[in-house]
């Protein structure tokens, strides 16, 4: 073992921020200083705090270096690696450099993400060294399939893909379904905007998913599995290819695993850009090489699934939980969380929050703890307005609901859903009507078009929202929106349509006055909708410097240099905001509503 271990986060986010260039610079610096035999650099999966990337975690000190640039590499190598002095200016610190004391980590409970950021995902040996494939060995050699299912049932684990169906019950249904062969599918078609935990798990700890699939296959009586990953995740695809090859080489996939009668192998399938394929029946159609369109259920995939055979389909995070349940027992898992939602959940924090990234917490913590204690709250000078949770199927919750515990039932009660765990924090610069419109645009675009309520209903709702943000809203629009929402929700074929109205319904429920401001006052209180705001120049602040006039693309700003004040001709103004950005004196202001 070498003197120092440098873990370099090389998840997609850190790579896009330049992690590999940092690695190159580090290797050069180490070579130059003759330290290559003493310092080991390990590329790991996602460590969590994405906005701080590229990130280095140096052991044994446990020092986090954040926002590292290639030019910092030499200093870190020289000061820290050679002379043993921490480079304080790059250090991410809590009270001590120890990671556990950093608030971002202190409140987290890492189960599924325990290996992400700690091991090299492209080396199966590292996974095995931390207990990898032990759960599979235990299941195959010391447990019957029924016992495995009983343990999963006892854990209370529910599907992490969104709907929250009890996992043990699903496994039982597939086991009991008549017909052979049976299949196991891992749904890695993570498409919810704002959710990226499955990507992080596949990139950072791919074997944990394969191990979960193998245990599931043993439990339900399947010999073949498919893992379906969206084409937008090339790094996850690459790491899975490596993992599959290594698992086969070690005999952990393939014939007669651990010298038992159980054989299992997994085939990787790549999507081609269709959000609806995250829906289980659509995903099955896609694996079969057809259009990814959903079909009515029942029959459920447990009875009639892939190629018409009984099929178990679970999400990435669900499978990644399995090994922990088998090793530590269902009772251990069930200790975490609430009465109906057990274990931990990974959330992807994004939006107007200080610490963005991936966090794993026990079910049942409040939104406030998640967003403020772990996420650090909204950046300086802004005010928290809402949290969008559950992606396009989820909803927007206001500040008054921040103390709601995060579990499947509570979120649903208030009009959001757990979904896959995407959390987008919105501050007072966001217009809730516009946010609702944005999510509906997404679902309307992604609607596969097979059923009328979803295809036409989402378009009709979108039309109304577009009118409202243009300032052409009518009094009766809100009731009409609610009526349509009800229809789309009840009559759509699959989960995409059934949940598509949620962003609209939840904003109508909690931010109705904002809709009224758009409709009655023709004003966008957040100053977002260009048709419902105007720019003005404060006469007393204007110095007639002429910058705004020069910035204006339409000649709407008029005035003569050194003769204040300037003024804006509203009829010519396209409300692009160029004058506001150009003014050094704060004389240009944006106001809700139209002028006059």
Partner 1 sequence: MTVEKKAILQKYPRAPDVLLALLHELQRANPQNCLTPEDLALAAAHLGLPLARVRDAATFYTMFSLKPRGKHVIRVCDSPNCHLFGAWSVVEELQRLLGVGVGETTPDGLFTLELTSCLGACGVAPVMMVDDEVFGNLTPEKVRRILGELRGGG
245 binds partner 1 (CB under 8 A): no
Can you tell me which of 305, 310, 357, 501 binds partner 1, judged by CB under 8 A?
357
Residue span binding partner 1 (CB under 8 A) among the ranges 89-97, 233-241, 460-468, 530-538: 233-241
Residue span binding partner 1 (CB under 8 A) among the ranges 15-23, 324-332, 483-491, 540-548: 15-23
CA distances from 478 to 235, 441, 464, 467, 527 (A): 44, 18, 9, 12, 21
Residue span binding partner 1 (CB under 8 A) among the ranges 95-103, 316-324, 406-414, 434-442: 434-442
Can you tell me which of 292, 364, 495, 559 binds partner 1, judged by CB under 8 A?
292
**Binding letters toward partner 1, positions 471-500, x by CB under 8 A:** ------------------------------
Identity of the residue, 158 or 437, whose beta carbon is nearer to partner 1 in the bound complex: 437
Identity of the residue, 65 or 275, whose beta carbon is nearer to partner 1 in the bound complex: 275
Least distance between partner 1 and beta carbon 553 (Å): 12
199 binds partner 1 (CB under 8 A): yes
Identity of the residue, 273 or 555, whose beta carbon is nearer to partner 1 in the bound complex: 273
Q: List the one residue out of 259, 188, 266, 191 whose CA is nearest residue 222.
A: 266
253 binds partner 1 (CB under 8 A): no
13 binds partner 1 (CB under 8 A): yes
Element (H, E) at 217: helix 206-220
Do residues 87 and 335 touch, judged by C-beta distance below 8 A? no
51 binds partner 1 (CB under 8 A): yes
Q: List the one residue out of 479, 588, 584 whose CA is nearest residue 533.
A: 588
Least distance between partner 1 and beta carbon 196 (Å): 4
For residue 440, report the phi and psi dihedrals to the nearest 5 degrees: -70, -35
Q: List the one residue out of 393, 357, 368 whose CA is nearest residue 504.
A: 393
469 binds partner 1 (CB under 8 A): no
104 binds partner 1 (CB under 8 A): no
Question: Which 8-state DSSP code applies to residue 375?
Answer: T
234 binds partner 1 (CB under 8 A): yes
Instruction: Pull the structure tokens for residue 151.
Output: 């343990």
Q: Which of residues 381-410 bind partner 1 (CB under 8 A)?
A: 388
**Binding letters toward partner 1, positions 537-556, x by CB under 8 A:** --------------------
- Pair type for strands 56-59 and 4-9: antiparallel
15 binds partner 1 (CB under 8 A): yes
Can you tell me which of 106, 129, 245, 272 binds partner 1, judged by CB under 8 A?
272
Can you tell me which of 104, 127, 171, 233 binds partner 1, judged by CB under 8 A?
233
Interatomic CA distance for residues 330 and 308, integer angstroms? 32
229 binds partner 1 (CB under 8 A): no
Identity of the residue, 237 or 556, whose beta carbon is nearer to partner 1 in the bound complex: 237
Interatomic CA distance for residues 298 and 303, integer angstroms? 9
Instruction: Pull the structure tokens for residue 10.
Output: 């090389």
Interatomic CA distance for residues 511 and 513, integer angstroms? 6
Can you tell me which of 71, 290, 383, 591 binds partner 1, judged by CB under 8 A?
290
Q: Tokens 């401001």 identify what position? A: 517
Least distance between partner 1 and beta carbon 457 (Å): 21
Interatomic CA distance for residues 232 and 357, integer angstroms? 19
289 binds partner 1 (CB under 8 A): yes
Interatomic CA distance for residues 346 and 110, integer angstroms? 9
Element (H, E) at 409: helix 408-413
Q: Which of residues 156-195 bind partner 1 (CB under 8 A)?
A: 190-195
List residues bridging with 592 in a β-sheet: 533
442 binds partner 1 (CB under 8 A): yes
Do residues 156 and 330 touch, judged by C-beta distance below 8 A? yes
Strands (E), 20-98: 39-44, 56-59, 63-65
Quote the distance between the C-alpha of residue 135 and its chain's center.
27
Do residues 67 and 53 touch, judged by C-beta distance below 8 A? yes
- Give the interface with partner 1 as residue ranges (CB under 8 A): 12-13, 15-17, 49-51, 53, 190-196, 198-199, 231-235, 269-275, 286-293, 307, 348-352, 356-358, 388, 422, 424, 426, 430, 435, 438-439, 442, 446, 448
């Amino acid at each position: 073992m070498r003197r120092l271990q440098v873990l370099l986060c090389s998840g997609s986010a850190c790579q896009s921020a330049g992690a590999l260039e940092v690695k190159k610079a580090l290797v050069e610096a180490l070579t130059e200083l003759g330290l290559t035999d003493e310092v080991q650099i390990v590329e790991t999966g996602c460590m969590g705090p994405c906005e701080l990337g590229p990130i280095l975690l140096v052991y044994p000190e446990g020092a986090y270096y954040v926002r590292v640039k290639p030019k910092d590499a030499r200093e870190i190598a020289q000061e820290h690696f050679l002379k043993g002095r921490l480079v304080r200016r790059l250090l991410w610190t809590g009270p001590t450099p120890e990671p556990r004391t950093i608030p971002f980590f202190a409140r987290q409970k890492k189960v599924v993400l325990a290996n992400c950021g700690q091991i090299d995902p492209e080396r199966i040996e590292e996974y095995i060294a931390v207990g990898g494939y032990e759960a599979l060995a235990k299941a195959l050699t010391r447990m019957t399939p029924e016992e495995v299912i009983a343990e999963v049932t006892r854990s209370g684990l529910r599907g992490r893909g969104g709907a929250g169906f009890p996992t043990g019950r699903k496994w039982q249904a597939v086991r009991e379904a008549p017909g052979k062969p049976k299949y196991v599918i891992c749904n890695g078609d993570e498409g919810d905007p704002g959710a990226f935990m499955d990507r992080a798990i596949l990139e950072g700890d791919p074997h944990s998913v394969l191990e979960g699939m193998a245990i599931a296959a043993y439990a339900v009586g399947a010999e073949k599995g498919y893992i379906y990953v969206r084409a937008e995740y090339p790094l996850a695809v690459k790491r899975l290819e490596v993992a599959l090859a290594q698992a086969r080489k070690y005999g952990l996939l393939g014939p007669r695993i651990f010298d038992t009668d159980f054989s299992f192998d997994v085939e990787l399938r790549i999507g081609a850009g269709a959000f609806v394929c995250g829906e289980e029946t659509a995903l099955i159609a896609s694996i079969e090489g057809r259009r990814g369109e959903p079909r009515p259920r029942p029959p459920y995939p447990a009875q009639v699934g892939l190629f018409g055979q009984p099929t178990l389909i679970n999400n990435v995070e669900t499978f990644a939980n399995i090994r922990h349940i088998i090793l530590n027992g269902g009772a251990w898992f069930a200790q975490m969380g609430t009465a109906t939602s057990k274990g931990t959940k990974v959330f992807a924090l994004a939006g107007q929050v200080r610490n963005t990234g991936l966090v794993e917490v026990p079910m049942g913590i409040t939104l406030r703890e998640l967003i403020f204690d772990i996420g650090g709250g909204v950046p300086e000078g802004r005010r928290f307005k809402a949290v969008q949770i559950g992606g396009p199927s989820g909803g927007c919750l206001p500040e008054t609901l921040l103390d709601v515990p995060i579990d499947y039932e509570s979120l649903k009660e208030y009009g959001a859903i757990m979904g896959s765990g995407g959390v987008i924090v919105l501050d007072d610069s966001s217009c809730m009507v516009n946010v609702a419109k944005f999510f509906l645009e997404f679902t309307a675009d992604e609607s596969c078009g097979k059923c009328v309520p979803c295809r036409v209903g989402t378009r009709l709702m979108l039309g109304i929202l577009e009118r409202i943000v243009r300032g052409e809203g009518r009094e009766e629009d809100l009731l009409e929106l609610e009526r349509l929402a009800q229809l789309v929700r009840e009559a759509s074929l699959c989960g995409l349509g059934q949940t598509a109205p949620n962003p609209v319904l939840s904003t109508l429920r909690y931010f109705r006055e904002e809709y009224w401001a758009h409709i009655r006052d023709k004003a966008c209180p957040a100053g977002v909708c260009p048709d419902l705001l105007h720019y003005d120049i404060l006469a007393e602040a204007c110095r007639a410097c002429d910058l705004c006039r020069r910035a204006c693309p339409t000649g709407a700003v008029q005035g003569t240099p050194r003769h204040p004040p300037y003024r804006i001709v509203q009829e010519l103004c396209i409300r692009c905001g160029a004058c506001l950005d150009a003014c050094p004196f704060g004389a240009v202001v944006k106001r809700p509503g139209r002028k006059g």
